[in-house]
Amino acid sequence: MKRFFKIYRHNIILIIVLFITVLGYIYVYISELKPVINKVFNISVISNNEIKESCFNCHQQFEGFSNYHNPKIIGCTSCHLGNKHQFEKEKAHQGMVLIPGNLKDAKNTCGVCHKEHLKKINASLMTTNSGIVAVDKFVFGETENPNNSYHINHINFTPAEKHLRDLCANCHLGTEKKEYGAINQKSRGGGCNACHLNYTQKSLEELHIYQSSKKKKLPTSHPSTDIKIKNEHCFGCHSRSSRISTSYEGWSETLLKQHEVINKKDFRILEDKRVFAKQESDVHHQKGMLCIDCHSSHEVMGDGKNYRHQEDAVSIQCIDCHFIDKPNTTTLEKLDTESVKIATLRKFDLKDKKIVVKSKSGQPLVNTFLDDKNNAFMISKNNGKVHQLSKQSPVCQKDKVHANLTCSSCHTSWASKCIGCHNQFDKNDKMGFDLLSQQYVTGQWVEYVHEFSVSEPSLGVREVGNKKEIKPAVPGMIMTIDKGSIKNKPGTDIVFHRLFTPNAPHTTSKKGRSCKSCHLNPYVLGYGSGKLAINKKGKIEFQASYELNKNDNLPEDAWIPFLSQIEKNKTYSTRTNFRPFNLSEQQKILTVGMCLTCHKSDEKIMQESLLKGIEAIITKRTNNCILPKF
């Protein structure tokens, strides 16, 4: 033993010295870290790792919290502020925030720990509403185009801005949540609460008792702030405008009244009394998937950049999960901090697994993985169910002539359309409500709608640089605005718009639409609902279903005139990079449609056209084939 110590004594001494040094560093690190923790979280760290605050003398709400928001760890004042050292109610509650998370005070509540998230949220479209403001000011003639950047909180009282205040400015994250209770269909905004607030049945019942007892019976169960985001969190805002939430669940808005559908099947009455009719729901909804299964945190909360419109901010694409050969992937070691946190909180086992990343943004989908055989799967954030991700259909892969069609062009089963909209200012309305200031006012804009209906969507062309993609389009604004009415001169200055808008209907169907439903459908081409008639000489005629609008002599639901060339300097949509089909595109589509009047889509000749194009096939036509005459 002595011989062993003699030989290795220098190494042993060195190890002991290193060990003592490391302990010293750890002690210093903890000593320095302790005041940082105290400062960041505004709490007192005590020896038994529990918080000592005066709040606990009255409030015993230690139930219902998520693990990382437990008051025994972070206290009450880290979220609610107030004075944790005072024992008198009035003094302890001084400066207290009853509902933390609203953006007006998020910097001092949620943002203390989640600085980067707050920074992203403040720049996101859900907070700024930039696109909505830009389009509204454009249609009112207050700007030359809809491409400027805005913030909804900074608008004033121009006719367009007053219109926004009266009809639109409630659906943004800056709207303050002022009442206790769970997020519901009527909820708007609420900052962080909009997505992250969850009540249990017990916490709701105790809240009711607390309120009915004149706030004397304090609850024991507290609502949770967590990442268990359900579709209900999205519903309040996204069941309006393009109605993504309702469409996803298979409901379309009607103009029916509540009393007209009571006890009738296939109708749904929302909490705000709007009546919806049953339609086919999105295939992803049928499988129990949530909005956030596709729309990840990086996309929903934003990436810190300012975007003009929704389609610019959205990074998820169908091809990310329904890939051609194999998906783009990354590994756990390469994930960003935010993704690691989410994967950890959701207890996803991603060790030694490949994770799918979005091709557009490179952001990871942490609820996906590849197995040893490179089969891709998605874990539902709803119930943990594992769904195998299917590759693109061979039909889509071999089709060369439709390469610029987006997946939704074929796989959208239906889309909502609203026509006959008229906006007029009622100066005598004494119960007007300013949605931005949350105050009653005298005089407001009133919107009158002629019809809600559904159909397969029209299609339009989005041009970004040299790239063209065909997307669903819906009537965004077939409308009149009585601008003279706000000056107390109704009828003296009426403007009319026929603008369609690019749309993501969220009514995805596993089966794609038929060839005829595009190539022989006048509504798809922009002519409006109706019938195309083709005679034996190849002459194509169109009979519209709707009467002609007196403002432009087009069918009420049309986008463009029948077989017309679109004008270069004319505005056709709510985007400067989105347009209807031009004349040559219309003619090409209808030429294929003419072939489909005789040939079935699955015939060899038509399948061959998918590879070579219709021009090459036409050269082989017989004398019996009739080409359209334009």
- Rounded to 5°, angle at Cα 246 from 244 and 249: 105
The reply to whether 332 falls in a domain is yes
Confidence of residue 62 (pLDDT cuts 50, 70, 90): confident
Q: 252 falls in which pLDDT band (50, 70, 90)?
A: very high
* 38 — pLDDT class (breaks 50, 70, 90): very low
Q: Are 99 and 180 in contact (CB under 8 A)?
A: yes
- Same domain assignment for residues 382 and 400: no
Q: Does some domain include residue 417?
A: yes
Same domain, 405 and 362: no
Average pLDDT of span 325-348: 93
CA dist., res. 437 & res. 165, Å (int)? 8
Domain that holds residue 383: 291-316+323-391
Do both 362 and 414 map to the same domain? no
Query: How many domains, the chain?
Result: 2
Chosen domain end from 358, 376, 391: 391
Residue 428 and residue 354 share a domain: no
Model confidence pLDDT, tens digit, residues 271-292: 999 999 999 999 999 999 999 9
Residues 428 and 412 in one domain: yes
Question: What share of the chain has pLDDT > 90, as a percent?
Answer: 79
Give the model's confidence band at 19: pLDDT under 50 very low, under 70 low, under 90 confident, else very high. low
CA distance 102 to 93: 18
Sign of CA dihedral 276, 281, 286, 292: negative
DSSP state of 335: -
The predicted structure's pLDDT at residue 611: 84
Provide the mean pLDDT of the chain: 90
Residue 379 lies in a domain: yes
Residue 242 scores a pLDDT above 90 = no
Asked whether residue 144 is domain-assigned, the answer is: no
- Please tell me the predicted confidence (pLDDT) of residue 16: 53
Q: Of 60-74, 117-131, 224-238, give the lowest mean pLDDT range.
A: 60-74
401 and 372 within one domain: no
**384 and 307 belong to one structural domain:** yes
Q: What is the predicted pLDDT for the residue at 398?
A: 73
Q: Residue 174's CB: how many other CB atoms inside 10 A?
A: 23
pLDDT of residue 11: 56
Q: Where on the phi/psi map is residue 565: left (φ > 0), alpha (ψ -120 to 50), or beta?
A: beta
- Is 188 within a domain? no
Same domain, 446 and 298: no
Tell me, yes or no, whether 543 lies in a domain.
yes
Q: Which residue has the higher pLDDT, 149 or 38?
A: 149
Domain stop point among 357, 374, 391: 391
Q: Which tops the pLDDT comparison, 307 or 15?
A: 307
> Based on the domain organization, do 444 and 550 belong to the same domain?
yes
Q: What is the DSSP string of 427-459?
A: TT-TTEEETTTTEEES-EEEEE--EEEEESPEE
pTM of the model: 0.88
Residue that terminates a domain, selected from 341, 368, 391? 391
Looking at the domain assignment, is residue 206 inside a domain?
no
Per-residue model confidence as pLDDT tens digits over 407-457: 999 999 999 999 999 999 999 998 899 999 999 999 999 999 999 999 999
Question: How large is the greatest C-alpha to C-alpha distance in the chain, in angstroms?
Answer: 113
Q: Is the pLDDT assigned to residue 396 strictly greater than 70?
A: yes
Do 378 and 418 belong together in one domain?
no
Are 335 and 483 within one domain?
no
* Contacts of 24 by beta carbon, 8 Å cutoff, 6+ apart: none
Q: How many Cα atoms are found within 13 Å in the side-chain-facing hemisphere of 71? A: 24
Residue 151 lies in a domain: no
Tell me: do 363 and 456 sit in the same domain: no
State residue 475 phi and psi, 5-degree precision.
-65, 100
Q: How do residues 345-388 score in pLDDT, each as one tens digit?
A: 999 999 999 999 999 999 999 999 999 899 999 999 999 999 99
